């Protein structure tokens, strides 16, 4: 009897453990699952139109060609590193070439960033409600500034955000527990920032800040001697360079290193050299700040005469200010100030706005603080989502109304066979994917051949246009709304070729004017 009791007692004692672990697992998954659901809901309208941003279509086209064995920068030229088309190719290999596939990648990217913001708050040991609020504010505001497109800023921000989380956690442990950061964190952070750099080099600034957070406090407190700091710096730099070096080595083996160097390094430097004026830079920055008005309106409450100057909230506040400065440097670096560049503001801005909402809510009566906090955060997030959604509901593109890009693709498919070569002169490169057409030129992004950025390619664009026309593509697509922006000599060459060799097959009306599909006679 006693032996039976001895055998069964541990089993009885252990029975609650499984439900406890299950509850802990469910509790741990609750926030990321909630943020994932919020990402799908807030970004639902991104799945409707065929085109939100032209860049996205170029990455789709590069990915399609890569999956066929035709590498980016060689078969489809661009002035960005190949990290973005690599991610597009990965998800398209799994799910196909539908427009919804890269938009799903955008949902995953924004969700990962929102979860990273929550992790930052928890690593700082600040209240978890701040992290949930920051995640929601970030997700809602990515529906603005062109953020519904799966652009580079959507793709690399999860990597910089989680790197910042690791850096902040190491900073707190160094200051509070006297613990030096382990080398494993250098490895993880270096590879994350490295792949972010392989998507867009502007991640450099946030990568530097993340490393300073990781190492700086530990060095200041004497936990890391100079030689070890130097070793960490060298290792971090090598790890950050590793993804780009790996891509470069692959291009070297393929015999296309020149194309890799031109597209990854030389062309972006040429692009950054053609900066906008200071007046335009200030105007574009003001416009972006006004679009994000209510998020910025919460920031003074977080920064002006803060009630708490020590502890987790104070640490979080200081890190966010530094992060916003690093993000601003990243926005400024290319010198062009397109709206989607300002998406880099959103992670630190969302955290600061959550801190501001917390302080404002604490002015309410004790029993209403939580409700006030939820009302402020929910109101600002809802207003951001409303601002992006109303124009889409009004325009109905891809919803109940026609989608001009899909209509042009349908017109093309009626005139060509799959695999025929076409030339999209000054319209969206997504057409090559939607119409299952081949390219008449590797310079598929119109702005880099027939548009204002032709200098980044390092070629004579008139010679390339002459070559394309001599090859007699099966179809040519022209957006007449943008035709006045064409260079006169180039426009004359195209008009002459159309008159001699092509018939007008279809016209689709865009908001700017007609889009013409010309068929080879």
Q: Which residues contact 160 (CB under 8 A, 6 or more apart)?
A: 192, 193, 196, 203, 206, 207, 210, 347
* Span between the terminal Cα atoms of the chain, in Å: 98
Distance CA 153, CA 144 (A): 13
**Per-residue pLDDT tens over the stretch 260-282:** 999 999 998 888 767 788 999 99
Residue whose tokens read 């092509």: 502
Q: How confident is the model at residue 453 (pLDDT cuts 50, 70, 90)?
A: confident
Do residues 257 and 317 make contact, with C-beta atoms less than 8 angstroms apart? no
Read out DSSP for 454-474? GGGG-S-HHHHHHHHHHT--S
Q: How confident is the model at residue 14 (pLDDT cuts 50, 70, 90)?
A: very low
Q: What is the mean pLDDT of residues 194-203?
A: 96
**Per-residue pLDDT tens over the stretch 35-62:** 999 999 999 999 999 999 999 999 999 9
Residue whose tokens read 């690093």: 326
**Per-residue pLDDT tens over the stretch 470-516:** 999 999 999 999 998 888 899 999 999 999 999 999 999 998 899 99
Q: How confident is the model at residue 8 (pLDDT cuts 50, 70, 90)?
A: very low
**Per-residue pLDDT tens over the stretch 330-378:** 999 988 899 999 999 999 999 999 999 999 999 888 889 999 999 999 9
The region, left, alpha or beta by phi > 0 then psi within -120 to 50, assigned to residue 419 is left
**Per-residue pLDDT tens over the stretch 78-99:** 999 999 999 999 999 999 999 9
Q: What pLDDT sits at residue 19?
A: 64
More confident residue, 81 or 451: 81
Q: What is the mean pLDDT of residues 124-141?
A: 95
- Range in 253-257, 292-296, 310-314, 475-479 with the lowest mean pLDDT: 310-314
Task: Give me the chain's average pLDDT, please.
Answer: 91
* Residue 210, token pair as written in the block: 């993340």
């Amino acid at each position: 009897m006693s032996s039976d009791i001895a055998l069964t007692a541990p089993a009885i004692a252990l029975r609650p453990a499984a439900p406890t672990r299950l509850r802990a697992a469910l509790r741990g998954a609750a926030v990321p699952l909630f943020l994932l659901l919020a990402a799908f809901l807030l970004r639902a309208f991104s799945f409707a139109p065929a085109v939100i941003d032209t860049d996205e279509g170029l990455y789709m086209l590069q990915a399609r060609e890569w999956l066929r064995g035709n590498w980016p920068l060689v078969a489809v030229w661009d002035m960005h590193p190949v990290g973005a088309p690599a991610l597009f190719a990965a998800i398209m290999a799994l799910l196909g070439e539908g427009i919804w596939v890269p938009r799903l990648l955008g949902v995953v990217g924004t969700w990962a960033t929102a979860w990273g913001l929550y992790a930052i708050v928890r690593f700082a040991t600040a209240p978890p409600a701040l992290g949930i609020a920051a995640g929601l504010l970030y997700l809602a505001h990515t529906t603005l500034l062109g953020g519904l497109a799966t652009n580079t800023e959507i793709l690399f921000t999860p990597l910089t955000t989680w790197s910042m989380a690791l850096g902040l956690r190491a900073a707190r442990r160094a200051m509070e527990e006297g613990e030096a950061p382990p080398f494993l964190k250098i490895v993880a952070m270096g590879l994350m920032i490295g792949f972010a750099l392989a998507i867009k080099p502007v991640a450099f600034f946030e990568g530097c800040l993340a490393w300073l957070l990781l190492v700086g406090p530990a060095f200041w407190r004497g936990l890391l001697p100079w030689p070890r700091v130097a070793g960490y710096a060298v290792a971090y730099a090598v790890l950050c360079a590793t993804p780009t070096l790996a891509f470069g080595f692959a291009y070297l083996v393929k015999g296309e290193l020149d194309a890799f160097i031109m597209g990854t390094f030389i062309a972006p430097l040429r692009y950054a050299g053609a900066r906008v004026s200071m007046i335009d830079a200030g105007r574009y920055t003001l416009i972006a700040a006004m679009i994000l008005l209510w998020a910025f309106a919460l920031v003074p409450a977080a920064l002006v005469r803060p009630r708490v100057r020590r502890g987790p909230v104070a640490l979080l506040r200081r890190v966010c200010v530094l992060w916003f400065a690093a993000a601003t440097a990243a926005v400024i670096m290319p010198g062009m100030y397109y709206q989607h560049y300002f998406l880099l503001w959103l992670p630190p801005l969302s955290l600061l706005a959550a801190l501001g909402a917390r302080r404002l809510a604490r002015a309410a009566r004790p029993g209403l603080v939580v409700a006030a906090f939820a009302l402020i955060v929910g109101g600002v997030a809802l207003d951001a989502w409303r601002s992006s959604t109303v124009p889409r509901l009004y325009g109905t593109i891809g919803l109940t109304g026609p989608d001009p890009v899909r209509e042009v693709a349908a017109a093309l498919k009626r005139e060509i066979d799959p695999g025929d070569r076409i030339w999209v002169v000054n319209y969206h490169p997504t057409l090559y994917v939607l119409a299952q057409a081949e390219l008449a030129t590797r310079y598929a992004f119109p702005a880099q051949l027939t548009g204002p950025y032709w200098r980044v390619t390092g070629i004579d664009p008139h010679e390339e246009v002459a070559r394309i026309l001599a090859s007699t593509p099966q179809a040519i697509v022209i957006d007449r709304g943008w035709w006045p922006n064409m260079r006169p000599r180039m426009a004359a060459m195209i008009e002459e070729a159309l008159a001699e060799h092509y018939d007008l097959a279809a016209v689709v009306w865009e908001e700017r004017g007609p889009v013409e599909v010309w068929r080879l006679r």
